[in-house]
């Protein structure tokens, strides 16, 4: 099939791929700029940045300054489209969103809770607002709230299906019935739910679908089902430019299908990860002792949390794999080599054209 361009607001990407955010410190300026330079949209994950020791006393300032540094670095490496992803459950989400806009970011992507008040934080209409949702119902809730409260609609929607990596917008029960929640089924629901708002605002709301999209054939099938683009994360881990350490990338290369499991996260959502020593130890211990000076999540009950997710993710990204949580998508076990972002995108586009 012909390669369609992806338009989000005033931004047009030649390649219909959004590189999904990967916190903590996995998708930063290096990966995001490489994707933008290769024609896609690169996303900086804003969660968990900055010196962890200093952040114990000045969490918000340290996070903000580190995000500014990443945005500036990314912009020095590319003129292509860049997005910042801010998880709504972060205690400093509003600050990170405002900071990104002040630094000239033109696409804000927000999920991990319904971003109902996002338009209130971003008055500048040249900034595209892209909620992440996992169902037609959630899309309808967000768009109805934005329409009623702010007379505004989304500039794009990321639909994240149950095969995605990291935190998932599905219950444990839903994750056991994957065929009922397949990406094409969810996409049909979302396309239906957004129609009234496309009609009211007289423009298309592009839906970018992701979660388990692995090759050009997957991309073609989801585009033919009505998506305007795809969001992909897992495959970008195994690239030269991905900001994470070699040990983390190696954990993907070593993973087998049966190693990829669903865990309960202190964020309050299920998540998908590689069942490594950290997860096996937790299965035996039940709970780790946590001291939390950060209060990074509004939804984390420190007294009851089984581990500190921020620390577990920081450990993993710095290569302390045995003490860390290695988030991944369902298809991570299929990654078998490290390639450059340009090689990956060329391969995907060749497969898409051949479809």
Ligand X SMILES: Cc1cc2nc3c(=O)[nH]c(=O)nc-3n(C[C@H](O)[C@H](O)[C@H](O)COP(=O)(O)O)c2cc1C
Binding positions for ligand X, rule: CB under 6 A: 20-23, 26, 45, 47, 85, 87, 111-112, 132, 160, 163-166, 210-213, 231-234, 327-329, 331
Placement of tokens 């450990």 in the chain: 315
Shortest distance in whole angstroms from residue 168 CB to ligand X: 9
Q: Are 71 and 21 a contacting pair, CB within 8 Å?
A: no
Return the exposure string of 294-326: e unless at least 16 CB atoms fall within 10 Å of the residue's CB, then b.
Answer: bebbeebeeeebebbbbbbbbbbbbbbbebbbb
Q: Which is nearer to ligand X, 112 or 147 (CB)?
A: 112
Q: What whole-number distance in Å separates Cα of residue 46 and Cα of residue 77?
A: 18
CA proximity to 213, closest of 35, 23, 16? 16
Q: Which is nearer to ligand X, 24 or 205 (CB)?
A: 24
Shortest distance in whole angstroms from residue 19 CB to ligand X: 8
User: DSSP strand E in 20-156: where?
Assistant: 42-45, 82-87, 107-111, 128-133
Shortest distance in whole angstroms from residue 305 CB to ligand X: 18
CA proximity to 28, closest of 39, 14, 42? 42
Q: Which is nearer to ligand X, 201 or 250 (CB)?
A: 250
Shortest distance in whole angstroms from residue 117 CB to ligand X: 17
Dihedral, CA of residue 161, residue 336, residue 28 and residue 221, to nearest 10: -30
Shortest distance in whole angstroms from residue 149 CB to ligand X: 23
CA proximity to 8, closest of 107, 134, 100, 135? 107
Q: Which is nearer to ligand X, 196 or 323 (CB)?
A: 323
Shortest distance in whole angstroms from residue 273 CB to ligand X: 8
Shortest distance in whole angstroms from residue 179 CB to ligand X: 17
Strands 107-111 and 82-87: parallel
Beta bridge partners of 167: 271
Q: Which is nearer to ligand X, 199 or 228 (CB)?
A: 228
Q: Which is nearer to ligand X, 115 or 136 (CB)?
A: 115
Nearby residues of 30 by Cβ (< 8 Å), 6 or more positions away: 77, 241, 242, 243
Shortest distance in whole angstroms from residue 326 CB to ligand X: 7
Q: Which is nearer to ligand X, 91 or 196 (CB)?
A: 91
Q: Which is nearer to ligand X, 151 or 322 (CB)?
A: 322
Placement of tokens 């009211």 in the chain: 200
Shortest distance in whole angstroms from residue 202 CB to ligand X: 29
CA distances from 272 to 8, 234, 262 (A): 28, 11, 5
Strands 128-133 and 107-111: parallel
Q: What whole-number distance in Å separates Cα of residue 226 and Cα of residue 183?
A: 11
Q: Which is nearer to ligand X, 77 or 222 (CB)?
A: 222
């Amino acid at each position: 099939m012909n390669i369609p361009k992806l338009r989000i607001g005033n931004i047009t990407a030649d390649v219909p791929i959004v590189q999904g955010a990967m916190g903590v410190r996995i998708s930063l300026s290096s990966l995001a700029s490489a994707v933008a330079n290769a024609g896609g949209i690169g996303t900086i994950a804003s969660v968990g940045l900055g010196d962890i020791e200093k952040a114990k006393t000045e969490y918000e300032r340290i996070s903000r300054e580190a995000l500014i540094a990443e945005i500036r670095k990314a912009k020095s490496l590319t003129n292509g489209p860049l997005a910042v992803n801010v998880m709504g459950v972060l205690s400093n989400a509003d600050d990170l969103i405002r900071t990104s806009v002040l630094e000239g970011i033109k696409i804000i992507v927000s999920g991990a809770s319904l971003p109902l008040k996002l338009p209130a934080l971003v008055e500048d209409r040249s900034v595209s607002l892209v909620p992440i949702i996992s169902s037609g119902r959630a899309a309808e809730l967000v768009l109805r709230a934005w329409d009623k409260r702010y007379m505004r609609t989304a500039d794009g929607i990321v639909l994240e299906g149950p095969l995605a990596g990291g935190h998932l917008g599905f219950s444990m029960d839903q994750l056991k019935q994957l065929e009922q929640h397949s990406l094409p089924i969810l996409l049909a629901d979302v396309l239906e739910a957004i129609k009234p708002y496309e009609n009211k605002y007289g423009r298309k709301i592009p839906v970018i679908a992701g979660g388990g999209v692995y090759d050009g054939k997957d991309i073609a099938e989801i585009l033919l089902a009505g998506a305007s683009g795809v969001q992909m994360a897992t495959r970008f881990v195994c690239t030269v430019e991905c900001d994470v350490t070699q040990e983390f990338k190696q954990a993907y290369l070593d993973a087998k299908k049966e190693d990829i499991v669903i865990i309960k996260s202190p964020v309050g959502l299920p998540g998908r990860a590689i069942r490594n020593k950290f997860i096996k130890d937790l299965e035996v211990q039940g709970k780790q002792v946590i001291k939390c000076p950060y209060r990074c999540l509004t939804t984390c009950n420190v007294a009851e949390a089984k581990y500190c997710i921020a620390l577990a993710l920081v450990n993993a990204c710095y290569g302390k794999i045995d003490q860390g949580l290695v988030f991944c998508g369902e298809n991570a076990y299929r990654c078998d080599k490290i390639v450059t972002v340009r090689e990956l995108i060329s391969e995907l586009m060749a497969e898409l054209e051949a479809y």
